[in-house]
Amino acid sequence: MTKDTDQRGGTSLDRALAFRSLHVPGTPLVLPNVWDTAGARIVEDAGAAAVATTSAGLAWALGAADGDRLDRDRALEAVARVVAAVDVPVTADIESGYAQDPAGVAETIRAVLGLGAVGVNIEDALYEGGAGPLRSVSDQAERISAAREAADDQGVPLFVNARIDTFLRGAGGVDATLERAAAFLAAGADGIFVPGAVDPGTVKLLVDGIDAPLNVLVGPGAPSVAELAGLGVARVSAGSAIAQAAHALVRRAARELLDAGTYETLAGGLDYGELNSLLGQER
């Protein structure tokens, strides 16, 4: 069993149990996803009960595209910095597991646990070279099972959030999603994440049809956290939306500075001293 008591207090087991307890239908865990140390500190300081990484934001920050194009070592180095930066539990978005097969997924999980993270997202999308938009149910179930076994071998109740991309990739509706969810839960997943499903009626069908905490991806135009709570959602994630907004600010500020020679886009930025102080705190 992992017993890595550290400066944050407690063990991986303690943090894993604390993180697991935050998934309450109707009182959702809200995760403003981050990709670096500064973002992690800011989100924790804002009062987040846990910190989640965004694989897309993390990949972009490292100069790679999202979608299984970032190698495991570089990705987990970034996750390690986020874990070390905060006191609250951290869950890592590990795309498809940064591996070609279930054995590789298990290796990734062991590495993630070694960093001190206590949750992961594992998605079922296929990218370049794939035979379709999604992995087969059986293939993905094997990968989730490998993740579950690797975590259990370490004695840590890692929260495995199975991401189902039926809606996001136009590969199925509620029925297909429920079929996948049932198989992935049977394989050892703890929660189900269905990005792209924000219509209240659809969300309610998923909540009622899935025997596990449901995670919804939000952004502009999505129902509020309060509305999603009323539908029984247990987890709300911003995904890559905050990273996209941050990079949009960079572009607007650059264009204003280069084209107009003015700086109004930069109004409202974090105070230099406040940010410097936040990042200067030792952990």
Domain parsing of the chain, residue ranges: 16-239
How confident is the model over 176-230, as pLDDT tens digits? 999 999 999 999 999 999 999 999 999 999 999 999 999 999 999 999 999 999 9
pLDDT of 53 strictly over 80: yes
Pick the residue with more confidence: 1 or 158? 158
pLDDT of 64 strictly over 50: yes
How confident is the model over 110-128, as pLDDT tens digits? 999 999 999 999 999 998 7
Backbone torsions φ then ψ of 234, nearest 5 degrees: -110, -10
User: Could you tell me the CA-to-CA distances from 206 to 62, 124, 186, 195, 277 in Å, in that order?
Assistant: 35, 17, 17, 12, 43
d(CA 256, CA 234): 41
Residue with tokens 């956290």: 225
Domain 16-239 homologous superfamily, CATH: Phosphoenolpyruvate-binding domains (3.20.20.60)
Structure tokens that stand for 129 in this block: 């070279």
pTM of the entire structure?
Answer: 0.94
